[in-house]
Amino acid sequence: MHLIFHKYQGTGNDFVMIDNRRQYFPKNDTKLVARLCDRKFGIGADGLILLENDRDADFRMVYYNADGGESTMCGNGGRCIVAFAGFLGIAGEQTDFVAVDGMHHAVLKEDRVRLQMSDVDIIEVFDNYVFLNTGSPHHVQEINDIDNFDVKANGEKLRYGKYGKGGSNINFVSPSGNNVFRVRTYERGVEDETLSCGTGVTAVAIAMHRTGKATGNTVTLDTPGGRLTVSFEERDGKYTNVHLEGPATRVFQGEVDVL
Ligand SMILES: N[C@@H](CCC[C@H](N)C(=O)O)C(=O)O
């Protein structure tokens, strides 16, 4: 099979993007997805995304983690697919698309995408961490000395030890200013730290607001791959109008023959 692919990145969270409107990609071939995402034997990416036709929206997003498994919502991938849809000419400045967690509205301006995320009303607050689902499950934990913290070792321990087979993404956070936080994330399905996680920083912003550590409705999140902004409205503990904003960039396009 001959595959044309496009590579995108959003604050360093990188994706192989495939235009699957003609339904030619073998969607159940987990091994193929993992091979394409492999950084030594393939193209290399944190995930693979298919852009498909949808009856009720401009397009549909199908997301796979680098391990080949189809997964839940990817915020940075959602921003990147909007940029890809703009490149293909199927999205204008405003677009609506369907993902695994429902309909998303987005605004594309040059290489910046503002993506509406799911509402959040279940937030579990524990002594030293918060757990919530922003389209994907997230553990949010404050730490000291974020620069020297072993995200992979600690993330792995929590991901498998605490959350069992289904797992969770694990975010470590340190405040760095007024409504500004530094975030490092261990991603389930990549099974390593990634440079940024969109649903992760969304979870961090909401968790910090819920626990009184962020006071504003716009929170800035600095990840190793760059800066993202999350804004929301909150009423009686329910978070609505949640938006994730940041850069989404086309890196290159290529072709591969896969057996
Ligand atoms: N990188 C993503 C999160 C992708 C999903 C995650 N790895 C999972 O399986 O839960 C993002 O930007 O949100």
What's the confidence (pLDDT) of residue 164?
85
Q: Is 163's pLDDT higher than 80?
A: yes
- Residue 154 and residue 101 share a domain: no
Pocket of ligand 1 from Cβ distances under 6 Å: 13, 65, 71-72, 74-77, 136, 169, 187-190, 197-200
Task: Check whether residue 102 and residue 178 sit in a common domain.
Answer: no
Are both 253 and 229 inside the same structural domain?
no
Q: Supply 160's token pair.
A: 């498998």
pLDDT digits over 183-237, tens only?
A: 999 999 999 999 999 999 999 999 999 999 999 999 999 999 999 999 999 999 9
Checking if the pLDDT of 94 tops 80, the result is yes
The boundaries of the domain holding residue 212 are: 123-244
Q: Which of 17, 74, 151, 207 is catalytic?
A: 74
Do 153 and 138 share a structural domain? yes
pLDDT at 181: 98
Q: Domain holding 16: CATH number?
A: 3.10.310.10
CA of 43 to the centre of ligand 1 (A): 19
Domain count, the chain: 2
Residue nearest to atom 2 of ligand 1 (CA): 74
Same domain, 240 and 133: yes
Residue among 14, 17, 73, 118 whose CB has most ligand 1 atoms within 8 A, to mutate: 73
User: Which atom of ligand 1 lies nearest, measured to the CA of 200?
Assistant: 13
Q: Can you give the pLDDT at residue 65?
A: 98
Residue 259 in this model has a pLDDT that exceeds 80: no
* 129 and 240 both lie in a single domain: yes
Mean pLDDT of 70-99: 98
Looking at the fold, whether 136 and 102 belong to one and the same domain comes out as no
b/e code 11-46 from CB counts within 10 Å (16+ = b): bbbbbbbbbbeeeebeeeeeebbbbbbeeeebbebb
CB 33 within 8 A of CB 16: no
Please report the pLDDT score of residue 53 as a whole number.
98
pLDDT reported for residue 201 = 99
What pLDDT is attached to residue 258? 87
Phi, psi of 108 (to 5 degrees): -110, 120
Q: Are residues 91 and 144 in the same domain?
A: no
As a 3-state breakdown, the chain gives helix, strand, coil percent values, each rounded to 5, of: 20, 45, 35
Mean pLDDT of the chain: 97
Ligand 1 atom nearest to CA at 169: 10
Answer yes or no: do 79 and 148 share one domain: no
pLDDT in tens, 103-156: 999 999 999 999 999 999 999 999 999 999 999 999 999 999 999 999 999 999
- Coil, helix or strand at residue 251: strand
Is-contact 29 151, C-beta < 8 A? no
Nearest atom, ligand 1, residue 13 CA: 1
Query: Considering the entire predicted model, what is its pTM?
Result: 0.98
SS3 200: helix
Do 166 and 77 lie in a common domain? Answer: no
85 and 39, same domain (yes or no): yes
Residues 96 and 134 in one domain: no
Q: 11 pLDDT band (50/70/90 cuts)?
A: very high
Q: Is 74 a catalytic residue?
A: yes
pLDDT at 74 over 90: yes
Catalytic, 197? Answer yes
